[in-house]
Every structure is written in C-alpha cells, then in structure tokens.
Structure 1
C-alpha cells in the first residue's frame, strides 16, 4: 500500500514498539579508527601509532592510516548521516591533533573539529564529542602514561583547549570511552596500546583515568555551561555458571567488581567498592587515592553512556599464569552460553542488555542512560548488483533494540541509542579484519556503500519505533 494512502491504524500496526518522544537515534565512531591522516596538520603520534609498529601487535600489520580517510572525507560522511536520518553523531576528538605530544595547542587540529561540528549542525545532527577514545599522545606514555598522575592534569589542559574552541556548539560531551579497556587491556593484558603487562600499572591507570574524568567534568561545567556531560563505560552482566557453587560465585563477584563496579561505584556513589579495595590492596589502590579525588570523580553526571556487546558466564577453573585482564584472579574460566556468535566470536545476548540497564536503574542513583555503543561484526558479502544484504546485522539490531524497549518498559530512564559503528573501520588489534559498520567501506577506493542494515535502521529512526515481531 503506498505511504500516502495508509491509514493511521495501518501505521500503528506496523510500528508496534515506539520509543519515547525525543529519543536520540545516532551512530558512533572514534578518531583513530576512521580519520587517517596521522601525520597531517601537526598531529603527533598516539600510543596506537606506536603500537601498530610492533610486529604482531595488530592483525595483518594494519595501521590507523588511511583508515577510512574521514579527516579528508568528513563532508561526504556527514551527508551520509543526514541521508540516513541520524539525529546525533558520537565521535571522538584526537588528543594528538589538539595538543601534539601533550604540549602546546595546535589550532590546525582544532580547525578540523570545528569544521566537522559546523557541518553536523548545518545538517541538524547533534554532535556528541568524546574527549578520549584511547589515543594518548605517545610522548605522555613515555613519561608514564596513565600510570602517572600528572597525565590526568595534562588531560585537563587538553579538554580546556577543546572547550574554548567548541564549548558553545557541542551539546553533549563524554569524558572517556571505556576506561576499562585503557586500563586493563592497555596495562594488564597488553593486547591494546600501550601493550604493557604490569598489574600495578593497570590499577594506577584505573584511578588516574577516573581522576581525569573528574577534572574533565569540572572543565565542562566551567567552560560549556549549556552542555550536558558524562562518561561512557563498557558494562557486562556477569553470571556464575553454577549459582550453587561458592567458587563460581566468588569468581563472578571478582570479575563483576573489576569489569563494572570499579568504575560505576566511584563515579555514581563516590567510593570504590569495599571488596575491590581489599582485593586490589596488594596492587597499591589505596595509596593512589588523594584527598578530594573521590569528590571530583563523583561529580554529578547529566548522562551515563552504556556500551554493551555481550555478557560473561564464568566458572572457577584451574589456576593459570601469564598476563590477564582480571588482576588477582588466575582461575576464572569464561564459558559459552550456547548463543550464536558474531564474526568477532562474541555471543549475541540481547537479554543481557536488559539486565545491565535494569541493574543500573535499580542499584545506582538515578541518571539518564544512553546506549552509546552496540553493534556486531559480520562477514559482509557484496552481491553482483553492489548491494550488501547483511540480514544477520539487522537481526542483531532488531533484537537489541527490542531489549532496549523492554528496559524502558521496566522503568529505565533510557534516552538514546547509538549503533557501533557508522562505518567499517580500523578495529584496533583486529585491524581491518572485522566489519562493524552499517556503511561498507572499500579500503582501496574509500567508496562508501550503505548496507541493508543502514536502510533498516533509517526506517526505525523515521518511525521512532520497531515493527511487531514476526510470529
């Protein structure tokens, strides 16, 4: 039936699960993953540039240049966002462009972000800027990186420079994206930049990242009075494989503590979880905390970003040696729950999103929530006519958006959803091997092709809701 002659009841039948008025629909990216141009206009090396040079650190020896060439092709990308109907675009600002080597302000780097923000606003797309998505200037890492308390104050200087240029035009800032990854993947297991395997360094990084978050929030409050601000955390539901097993429950408690509560509790409650303070005492956590730190860290948020991909099903196993994300836990086994896998080998677990959101709603002080990342890598196939019918990604999106809607029905104050990612991109240690985008990128020609999932998501945005589930 043509759109112009459909009745209101027809439309209501098709859109059975509406989201609240004003719900924010967007997509997300990160600077190092898409910008390329890593030696252009005064940008200096980040820890990821250095990490990519290490043999074997990144799959196939890939690097962050040219990535998707967004630095030069941002206008085309904003036009794509407008075509898809995005209401908001979450991107990160590259510290090595704004204060190369952590030093003086580089106006040419800020010029790029000003052009990007202005183009977004011209297209009625709200810019959501993240100050830090893992790309610490390499020069600061050589002075200790996030193990050095001074790095938090250098971060505050960087944030100050951004706000003095963009503070009047960006409506939403997030201080950090997934500080868990920066601390534990970067300094404990070493599978991300800077590639260190030092448990005490990882614990120091946790506290200094949180301190920097607090300093960043203070800067936004001073220099961008009309902007909202918060932080984005990657959160996982953690379940014991055998709830009746004390050993399984114990490893679940520890994994949950180091994955979720070690960031949630200081930010939302003003204290580290007591059991984590005890657990991490041998690694120096208590000595890191100075007077006034937790007051800064727990400054009120306007929003909390939730990045959700999957959950953890854990059991107590045999002790092992070697680097691990789970400091002080050498006997945890991560088990399969039997759900389908993405191309990343991650289980597709939509109910876990409900669990995470409801837990935040029930166990923590009230705060507006946004899903700031949720997505899946799949092996896209380009058909003879050039189309990419990524039905598996559509199924993933549909299931997780239904989970988000269920959480809202449970009373969760969920106000937005950002798909990860707008574009296929450099996927950290996986290089270009994994494709998360709803827009396909040919890395040789830089041609962009919206996938079927992009069109599907565009309709969800236009309808502000989902159709009735089949069957």
Structure 2
C-alpha cells in the first residue's frame, strides 16, 4: 500500500470508529456540489412512507440510567464529550413531530429508551411508558406513521453491568421488556424494529483488514474496566464494547425471543429487523472473498430475517471497496463527507439490490444520509439516494419507505456534537430548531410522491 493509501486508510478507520462511539475525529471541510445529470420522472405508490429518524439517547437528553451515559462520563472514555441535554427531545417531542408533518413527511422513526422504561431490573416505569404513549398519540394527531425501535444501541446500566448481550439471560430480559412495552403501547404501533443495526460491529470489525486492531483496544478495555468498578459488578458489556461473537449470539437469540413475544401479544404489529449495510464492490476481491465478507457482515442477520422478520430495514451510507483480502480505503481524490466516508449516494441502491437477492421481504430504507456542514451536499445526496431507491422499485424490488438520518443535528456517539447529519439544525443553547433546505427538498419529494430520477 502506498503512502496515499495509508493516509486514506487511517482517515477511514478514524471515521468508522468515531461513528461507532470509539474515538473522536476531526471533520473535513464541506465539498462543492456537483452539477445534476439528466433525469426521468418516477412516481412512488400511494402510501409510500417518507420520513426522518432519531434515536432516544441521541436526542432526548439526560438519559442517566443508560450504559452510554456512564461510558461518556467516566475516565478514561473513548467518547469525545457527554450527551447531556442532547436536543431536549424528551420535552420537545410534540414540537418535533409537528415539524415533521409541516415539512410534508408522513413518517417518524424513534426509539423507546429501555433504560427509562426499566431503570432497574424488573422495575418498570409507568411514567416512562405514559410518555412514549404521548409520543405515539402526537404522531397520530399529526397523521404521522410511527416506526418504533425497541432498542437503539443503548441499554440500562444494570443490564450492561450484569453482562449485557453476553449474558445468558439477555434474550429473556429483552423479550420481557419488549412484551411490557407492547402491552402498554401496542395498540398505537404498527411498524416496529427490535434492534437498530445489531450487525454493525461485525460490519466494522469482522472482516480482515485495518479496522480489526481497534476492536478491544487498550483504551476501550480500560473504559470498560472502570465502568465495571463504578457499576459495582466488576464487569460491563455494552453495544459493541465486549466480546463481539458473544454479543452477536446474544442479540440473535434476543431478536427471535422478542419477535415471538411481541406477536403473541399483538399479532397485528409488524416486527422488522434493521441491518447496517455498505454497497460492497469487488476491487480485486474474488467471488469467494466477496461471499466471505458478506457472510461475516450480514449473513446471520439476513438468514434470521427470512424467518423472524416481517420486513427488513436497510441502513446504508456509502460503498465498501473490497480488495483481495481486506476492505480498501476510498480511491485517491474521492469526494468525502464530513465523516470521511466516500460521498456515494448511489450506495443505497446497491445495498437494497443485494438484500433483495437474499431475502424475500418488504424493505424500508430506515437510515440513509450524510454529515455535512454544507447543506447543498445533503440535497445532492438525497436526490441521488432517492433516485437509487426509485430505480430499485422500477425493477420490482418491494421498497415501501425512505427514512432519512437524521431529523435533527444530534449527538453522534464518539464524535459528540461535531458532525451534522440533520435535516434540521439545533441551537444547543436555546434548543431552537431551524429546518434546512434539504428538509424542504425531502418534503417536496414526499408531497409530490415522485422524483426526477438521476442517471446512475
């Protein structure tokens, strides 16, 4: 690998790790938008879902009983800064949902925060459940379809301190929590997901390449050791901080148990599985290498989705170029986003096509977007990505919705508040929301339920 490739490889490693909450990174300056290519119009079917997504810990604020809160506030930590008040969405949810409707969108994806609902093992908060019922009622008032995640990365502190997803009792505990939420809120829910992209760790660290050395690094181990001391159990396993094989096994079993528990209580609820994907492209890789990469990154989850999912949520941001034995950095001179990913809006098309080749289920794009301080880049990305979705649908792939990440400029894990993914800017001192031109663009596409497809 030459010096230029080493440089790009290092930048990509830092970006992926920071996005996963493992370290901070310096953001790149925005890039200029390119001229738009020729196009042809595509009309989406009636009832297509257009929306934006958030996650509890990243927007609600003061999520003090969660594993992430502890990891953010101890020393040493791999997080750039604590989440604090975030976007104060726990208080301002009604305003935010009304804004979604005013923009012309018809869907809002959010998560119920397990650490609020069950702050201690077996102790459920009726007040927290009532809050999330109010959120669902606000969606109904605004004629917004809610897409509810039972878990978006974070778990209760007590759960992480008892072994987290590595614990043998994890599937039962998660299914119990999902059952309680469904009993309290299920009459207002239609589309739900158990986990948010539970395969992300395997996507980042599972395939041979430079990222592997950062999984279980000394600073992460020191952070987890300190968290175990503070929690009083001497151990702490959270999200992707721990034994990745055991975490994946625990989450696979937990999804199956939760899927069955939710359906027992309310068979009408559609329970989906979201999967983090890249548009994998061979760049020197053999067919066998490509198959191995995909089996590591997605295989167990796509297989589970075939039997234990009513739909699949595809979450994709960029492409991955696979060399003979490792993922390669972006090409020299490639256009990069502020997260140092390659600017590649057509990636969602490739990810959807691969997923559809493996699973015969309805698909939703449950996350897709870019970090950029220049909103012109986001507008260009949206046009390119939605065009890719339209091409998939034109070719017969059953895609039923496009949900942009994210609604708000929010807390982005290891990066803290540095990156801006939002359709809406947030003044962190006043919590004032200001929709960007990209929000109006997506709203216009949603109202028209059509797009002028750009050439791939």
**TM-score scaled by length of structure 1:** 0.78
* Residue 372 of structure 1 pairs with residue 366 of structure 2: yes
Q: Gaps spanning 5+ residues in structure 2: where?
A: 1-37, 207-211, 221-236
Find the partner of 1:57 among 69, 72, 77: 77
Q: How does 1:216-231 map to 2 (within 5 A)?
A: 216-231=258-273
Q: How does 1:255-266 map to 2 (within 5 A)?
A: 255-266=293-304
Instruction: Sort the Cα spacing of 1:213 and 1:186 in 2 relative to 1 into closer, same or farther, 3 A.
Output: farther
- From the CA coordinates, give the structure whose radius of gyration is larger: 1
Structure 1 Cα separation of the partners of residues 134 and 93 of structure 2: 9
| Aligned-pair CA distance for 1:103 | 2.5
Partner secondary structure for residue 317 of structure 2: coil
* Residue 357 of structure 1 pairs with residue 352 of structure 2: yes
Which residue does 1:348 correspond to in 2?
343
Find the partner of 2:313 among 289, 292, 305: 305
Contact 1:114 1:166 in 2 (8 A): yes
Which residue does 1:239 correspond to in 2?
281
Which residue does 1:411 correspond to in 2?
396
Which residue does 2:231 correspond to in 1?
none
Aligned length: 393
Which residue does 1:104 correspond to in 2?
123
Find the partner of 2:57 among 32, 42, 45: 32
Taking only aligned residues, the RMSD between alpha carbons, in angstroms, comes to 2.6
Instruction: Sort the Cα spacing of 1:430 and 1:142 in 2 relative to 1 into closer, same or farther, 3 A.
Output: same
Which residue does 2:434 correspond to in 1?
449
Instruction: Sort the Cα spacing of 1:333 and 1:128 in 2 relative to 1 into closer, same or farther, 3 A.
Output: closer
Which residue does 1:145 correspond to in 2?
164
Find the partner of 2:420 among 432, 435, 443: 435
Partner secondary structure for residue 298 of structure 2: helix
| Aligned-pair CA distance for 1:354 | 1.9
Which residue does 1:120 correspond to in 2?
139
Higher relative contact order (CA 8 A, sep 6+): 2
Q: Gaps spanning 5+ residues in structure 1: where?
A: 1-12, 40-44, 269-297, 317-330, 381-389
**TM-score scaled by length of structure 2:** 0.80
Contact 1:86 1:461 in 2 (8 A): yes
Which residue does 1:17 correspond to in 2?
42
Contact 2:111 2:149 in 1 (8 A): yes
Which residue does 1:129 correspond to in 2?
148
Contact 1:36 1:71 in 2 (8 A): yes
